[in-house]
Structure 1
Amino acid sequence: MDELDPAVVQAVAAYLRAADRLLPGRVVACAIAGSIALRAYRPGRSDIDLLVVLGGGAIRRRDMRRLRRLHRSQLPRIAARVVRGHGLSATCNASFVHVSELTRPVRAIRPIASHVGERFAVSEAFDVNPVVWRELVDGGVVLRGGPIAGWGLDPEPAALQAWCRENLEGYWRAQRDALAARRLPMSTATLEWCVLGPARLDATLVTHRILSKDQAGVVALARFPEAAGVVDVALAHLRDEPLPSEPPRAQWRDRTIALMTAILDAAGGPVRRGAAS
């Protein structure tokens, strides 16, 4: 872990200590996906996305109670970072799978549980999907267990594009519609989420690669006239840089909706070709 940011090293070490205390001998493997796997981690802004592999027998009620306690064990640390102005950065999100499921095609895996921020979910884990499995295979950072190449992960590469289209249609279309229904001023955090989230999926459809938010913003600028301005705002917020004066905040919502609509339309038809393709 020598190459990791010190805040990440501290966070994952504390998390695994808590996991070993609550579930002794059960955590047989663990790796980091997300921005760290993509070499795009931003200190003070990025969180930590873990795949935690549990061994031993079947998961029982007492094990699930301990997983909930593991999640809650993070809350004091999260609160302390928020008070110090670090937000939810360097927070461990985790998806739990049993070792017996690990080599199944990713869409066939039955997750044990997951937690993201303050939310804990039983028998579901959004990050058990073709995109995150590809991140792990290409650049996952192993915290416990042998090299990722020996884990037998099956990211189902033939399903990657279909999954991206399904996520755009099933999640981001509803987010676009909800954004259009609101009238409160749009925050920079919401703009970044609604611009770069769909842009990452579109970039994967075009390049067949998993790109960081920063890289996906560059692809969007090359592909969509609707991206002018709002991608610059999104990238400035992502990079913790001063926001550009154009477009004015009053136009953020309409321009974001226009870009989201263009990405949704492109995903439903022939892929637009641009300079980044």
Structure 2
Amino acid sequence: MSEAFSAALDGSAPGLVRAAHVVGSAALGDHRPGSDLDLVLELSRVPGPDDLAALAAALTPELDLVCLVDGEPGPWGRDGAFHPGPGHDVTPVLLHQLNRCSTTLRGPRPRFAVTRDEVEAYCRRNLVEYWRPLLELVAGVTGPGHRDGVLWVAFGPARQWHTIRTGEVVSKTRAGELAAEHWPDLADELRDLLAARRGERVELTAAHREAVVALGNRVLAAV
């Protein structure tokens, strides 16, 4: 939690934040310039009007914020927009990340009640409900462009695949490396996509889009 964010909350809403944890790419060693910072706050009370005002004032466009009150969803923010009511989905995978691979900036380490079966079931649903439609969109792309979309879809399914198999949460980069080892016929294209994700100047072609779709479909078939 940045000093400015912490100072804003402590000055305007003292005692509100019981614990603060970083999750996502920053906690997994995969943060890239321009990436958002994913911050989860455990609040000590149901936030009142002054608390909500302090949270909104402290939010920045680079911060994705989720607040929990007794483990239940509370206020949240994304892209600089603050939402005072619950609406962000607190998933089993988020709770699993908090327990296993978050970076705690303030307060005690998280100990949320979540089971391996709940995590696996969520990953399977997410693959079908979220990632499969995106894979279908990528499969329908023709011509140049759509680089950001291809990179977004490239390794998301592989992350879910690894969590289902092992219970471990890994970054997109690590998921891509593991997928390249597991499916060596896709390895060249996946390594190019990993390089592009790092910001290297790699031209992405139809072969790379096809590898993304093939990887996603293999994940769906495997789980």
How many corresponding residue pairs?
222
2: distance between equivalents of 1:213 and 1:139? 14
- Stretch moving more, 24-33 or 117-126: 117-126
The corresponding residue for 1:124 is 87
2:92–2:114 contact (8 Å) kept in structure 1: yes
Q: SS state of the match for residue 25, structure 2?
A: helix
Amino acid at match of 1:96: C
1:12–1:92 contact (8 Å) kept in structure 2: no
In the TM superposition, what are the counterparts of 1:108-187 in structure 2 within 5 Å?
A: 110-121=72-83, 122-126=85-89, 128-146=90-108, 148=109, 151-183=110-142, 185-187=144-146
Q: Please state how far the C-alpha of 1:195 moved relative to its aligned partner.
A: 1.0
The corresponding residue for 2:19 is 29
The corresponding residue for 1:228 is 187
Q: Please state how far the C-alpha of 1:182 moved relative to its aligned partner.
A: 4.2
Name which of 201, 206, 210 aligns with 1:250. Answer: 206
Name which of 5, 13, 25 aligns with 2:3. Answer: 13
The corresponding residue for 2:200 is 241
1:171-206 CA deviation, whole Å, 9 max, x = no partner?
Answer: 111212233344463443322211111111111122
Q: Structure 1 219/24 Cα, relative in aligned 2: closer, same or farther at 3 Å?
A: same
Q: Could you state the TM-score of these two structures normalised by the residue count of structure 2?
A: 0.84
Q: Structure 1 124/179 Cα, relative in aligned 2: closer, same or farther at 3 Å?
A: same
Amino acid at match of 2:57: R
Amino acid at match of 2:36: D
Q: Which runs of 5+ in 1 are unaligned?
A: 1-10, 76-90, 103-109, 268-277
1:117-143 CA deviation, whole Å, 9 max, x = no partner?
Answer: 2454431224x3222322222232221
Q: Percent identity?
A: 27
Higher strand share: 2
Q: Which runs of 5+ in 2 are unaligned?
A: none
Q: Please state how far the C-alpha of 1:45 moved relative to its aligned partner.
A: 4.7
Give RMSD over aligned pairs.
2.6
2:8–2:57 contact (8 Å) kept in structure 1: no
The corresponding residue for 1:48 is 37
The corresponding residue for 2:67 is 96
Stretches of 4+ moved more than 6 A in 1? none
1:236-275 CA deviation, whole Å, 9 max, x = no partner?
Answer: 02223342x6xx61333333222222222222xxxxxxxx
2: distance between equivalents of 1:174 and 1:256? 13
